[in-house]
Structure formats: C-alpha cells, structure tokens
Amino acid sequence: MLRFDLALQPLRALNSALHCLPPGQNDVHIEVLNPRGSHAVAVGIDKPVRVEVMGPVGYYCAGMNDGGTVIVRGSAGPGVAENMMSGTVVVEGDASQYAGATGRGGLLVIKGNAASRCGISMKGINIVVHGSIGHMSAFMGQSGHLVVLGDAGDALGDSIYEAKIFVRGRVKSLGADCIEKPMRAEHLETIADLLAKADVTGVRPEEFRRYGSARRLYNFDIDNADAY
Amino acid sequence: MCGIVGLFLKNATWEPHLGCLLAEMLVTMTERGPDSAGIAIYSAAGGRAKVTVQSSDPLRDFETLGEDLALAGIEAGIRIKSSHAVIEAATALDRLHDALAVVRPSVRVMSAGYSLEIFKDTGLPASVVARFDVRAMGGTHGIGHTRMATESAVTTLGAHPFSTGPDQCLVHNGSLSNHNNLRRALARKGMRFETDNDSEVAAAYLSARMAAGDDLGDALAGALDDLDGFFTFVVGTRTGFGVLRDPIACKPAVMAETDDFVAFGSEYRALARLPGIQSARVWEPEPATVYFWDRQNAA
C-alpha cells in the first residue's frame, strides 16, 4: 500500500503518482492522510486502483474517475465525482452541491446527505444517496439512475431527459416536465441491484417511487412556453 | 468568487485567541479572494463609544487627533494600527461621530458602536492580517472576508466587511442585481453610502430594517424577498452572528459547531485547523434559511 500525507506532500505528488501508473497495474491501494478539505484530490484516475482518503475533501474529489475506486472517509465539497466515466466513488459523510454532475458511468454512493443539484446533467452515472438530496437535483439528467433513500428538495428532475429517479421519502416539488411514473418490474430489479452495490440493507425496492420525464419539453412547442 | 470566514466563541477561555484563529481561517481563503481582505472583531462592550477610522495619510490625520478631539470637548483613547485608528470615548456615540466629522473630515469611518472594530485593506489576506496585527486581537466573535472583486473597484472602502449601523457589519459572497434601485430607495430613507458596491446596499438594507425595529432574524428573512441576486451573507451584531444563503445557493458555505464555537467557512479548508473540528457537527447551511447565534442565548 502506498501512503500520501497531504500535510507533508503536495497534492500534485499524489495525483501524478496516480496518473503515472503503468497499464495493467491494478493491485494498487493508496491511502491519503490529512486531506483537510483539499481540492481535486485523486482526480483523473484511469486505472482500476483503490484510493482511500482519510478525512474531508474540498472541490472535485475523484473528478473524471475512469475505473478507480475512491473511498472518502469524511465529507466531500462541491462536484465530487464530477464527470465520472466508470468505477466507484463512495463518500462516507455528506456531499456538497452538484455531486456526480455530468457523470457518464460508474457508481457514486453518498452515505450521508447530498446538497443541491445532485446528479445535474447526469449522462449514465448511477448515484445512490443514503440520506436526502437538495433542490434542482438531476436537472437535465439524460441517462443513468438516481436512487435516494431519504427526501428530495425543490424542483426535482427539472427539464429531465431519460435519467430515472427513485425516491423513497418525500419530494418537496417536481421540476418542469418531471412526473411520477409507474414502477415496473425492471425498475425494481435496477433498484435492488443498485442498493446491493451501495451496501444498503433493510430497504425494499417497493418502498421507492419513480420519477422521470413527461417528454413534453424535448422539442420547442409554443404551447409549452410557460413551462420554460 | 470571494471567501468568508466567521467564528463565534461559546467558550470564554478561547477569547484571547479569537484573532489568531480568525487570521488562520482568513489566510486559508486567499485563493478565493486575493484582491483585498478585512476583518470585523467584536469584544465585550465596555460602555465606551468606539469608532474605527481609516486614513489615506495616517501620519497627518492621527498625530494630533487626541488633542484635537480634546479641544472639541471629547477625551478619547486612540489606538493606531497602520492606516486605521480605533477611537474610544466615554461619550454618546453620535457625539463622537459628529466631533470626528468636524475635526477630521478626511478620515473614513469603518465602524461605529461599542464593541465592533473593522480593519480592511487591499492586498493579499496574509499581508492585511500582518498590517493590522490581527493575530494579537481578542474578542467574542468575528467575521472576515477575502475579496475577488467582480462589480466595483478594488479599494479599501470596497473591501468587506461593510458596516452601516452601530455594531453591525456584513460580508458577502455573490452579486446582487437590484442594488442600484435599492440604494436609491434606502438613500431616500436617510441611509448613507460610501461606495457603489452591491454588498454595502445589502448591509444598509439590514441596518434600515433593524433601525425600524426588526431583529436580525426578521431583517434577514426580509432580505430573501427584497434582494435579487446571488448571496451568501454572514452578518455580525454586538451579541451574535447570522448566516443567510439565497434560494439558489450557488455560493458555497460550510458550518461547524462544537461546545466551544460556531464557525463558518466558504470551504471546509477554512475550518480544518480549528481545535476540535474532528468531532464537530459539520453541515452545509440550507438555502433561504436564516441561521443566527446570539451570545445571550448561547452558553
């Protein structure tokens, strides 16, 4: 196991080491000490490495992750796992705004709460939040799944395309063109699979409700002008 | 982008170290605001009127200030810190304020009250902190700001905090879009403005509401209706501090609370070195929600 202490070493030492791993090296386990809210911790991983960050991080932790596993043993600032391509990111605490924004793949698990704009413009990422999410989450979400065990804030799924949202608690309000939809067997299977991958136990897929696009805003229609 | 820090002490034994803790927090936020920095620091009021002034020519303005105020009938104690001076006198605040305007029209009033002192200037936060010897200051609570200017000039007066009422001050991260209209409306009600800055309008708005009888909580709730734009505000009064984010809440904010303190930071980095932070309750303040801590209700 490699160990980086950000109280003693610059962040670039960690991120360069991650970027310089030769192809095929997939047994690397890195521990990061004293992150103290640093920005851009473990961004741009493109190998199947495992990084454990022992404390809270700042902006953009694990951004662009492609195949790595990043565990944050603390809370994360804005934009955690932004534009993830593949792999897994787990935040043991809370996540600030736009967690998983624009993500194209992989799994983001937030064990606490996520703030506003969680999964904004998601494009294939799967996000499981053990707690609640803030307003404008999954705004313009194009594909992927957002599973929320707690509540959702205002304007959930505003202007959503084909991302699928599953919320177990209360939804404060739905955004433009987002509606509740019937839960089918395939959705229950998807939820069960994601809950298992996110270490959630004691929660049944049937407890969730599904939300998605009414598909009225895909193309401009003058009769919908009020909805924009 | 700007940086905000705030620290409200619940444990009185920490009070001599307030300046030291706030200075560390402020310097951590340098990347968010390298243009200018400022700090507002509150200490237990001793009953004497207190005014902090700034001068572009401190040698000229401060050298005989005590004698000149004495000639005007006011026995004042004066502490000079770089371009600022803190003037204290056992007299009515208005009387001290008016006398200063007569004997030194060239100085600018940074703060007036019984408890508050404000020091702010252009330059990197570390140099501003050193210039005013912030680390040596004690107090009960304080707020600080690092500025990256977006809509008005980088000057001492354009730096935060802004004080527009007795022992009141405000720092702001964001930008307001209806400040010109609101400034005109507040000016008609008698509020005075020193700058074209949007944040000064927010400060004056809250001061005007409080002068009309609102408590800080009600004044902040009114701001949600009347201020248009992006904001995270941290506001200080003699006995407490408040936090408010606009309903969109783009501007970052993190808070932490222990038995010893309540702290605010634009980022967690600002809080990361506070003693006891590992076991603190850390959370992100909700949008459009008023938070307020008061010394009288704390403890």
Cβ atoms within 10 A of the Cβ of A157, count? 30
Cα–Cα distance for residue pair B1/A227, rounded to 1 Å = 31
What is the chain A residue with the closest CA to B284? A96
- A205 φ, ψ (degrees, to nearest 5): -55, -30
Domain ranges of chain B: 3-45+121-294, 46-114
CATH 3.65.10.10 fits B3-45+121-294, yes or no: no
Do B217 and B290 contact (CB within 8 A), yes or no?
A: yes
Q: What part of A 70-99 touches B (C-beta under 8 Å)?
A: 75, 77-78, 93-94, 96-97
**How far lies B79's CA from each of B50, B85, B89, B117, in Å?**
11, 5, 12, 11
**Per-residue DSSP letters for B47-89?**
SSEEEEEE-SSHHHHHTTHHHHHHHTT--EEEEEETTEEEEEE
Do A122 and A142 contact (CB within 8 A), yes or no?
A: yes
ipTM confidence score? 0.91
The per-residue pLDDT for A228 is 63
- The gap from C-alpha B190 to its chain's centroid, in whole angstroms, comes to 21
Strand locations in B68-216 (E): 76-81, 84-89, 108-113, 116-122, 141-147, 162-165, 168-176
- Give B269→chain A minimum CA distance, Å: 5
Give the tens place of pLDDT for each residue, B106-127. Answer: 999 999 999 999 999 999 999 9
CATH 3.30.70.120 fits B46-114, yes or no: yes
> How confident is the prediction along chain A (228 residues), in pLDDT tens digits per residue?
899 999 999 999 999 999 998 887 767 999 999 999 999 999 999 999 999 999 999 999 999 999 999 999 999 999 999 999 999 999 999 999 999 999 999 999 999 999 999 999 999 999 999 999 999 999 999 999 999 999 999 999 999 999 999 999 999 999 999 999 999 999 999 999 999 999 999 999 999 999 999 998 877 778 877 766
Cα–Cα distance for residue pair B128/B125, rounded to 1 Å = 5
Give the tens place of pLDDT for each residue, B184-203. Answer: 999 999 998 989 999 999 99
Domain ranges of chain A: 1-112, 136-215
Is the pLDDT assigned to residue B297 strictly greater than 60? no
Strand locations in chain B (E): 2-9, 36-42, 49-54, 76-81, 84-89, 108-113, 116-122, 141-147, 162-165, 168-176, 229-237, 240-245, 254-257, 261-265, 281-283, 291-294
B239, two tokens:
């006995």
CB contact, 8 Å: B277 with chain A? no
What is the chain A residue with the closest CA to B268? A37
The per-residue pLDDT for B287 is 94
The phi-psi region of residue B180 (left if phi > 0; otherwise alpha if psi is between -120 and 50; otherwise beta) is alpha
Q: Which of A37, A59, A78 lies closest to B272 in CB terms?
A: A37
**How far lies B26's CA from each of B14, B32, B198, B215, B264, in Å?**
18, 10, 22, 28, 11
* 3-state SS class at B98: helix
- For the annotated catalytic residues of B, the residue numbers are 2
The whole-number average pLDDT for the span B73-82 is 96
* SS3 per-residue string spanning A25-46: CCCCEEEEECCCCCCCCCCCCC
CB contact, 8 Å: B268 with chain A? yes
Residue B129 identity: V
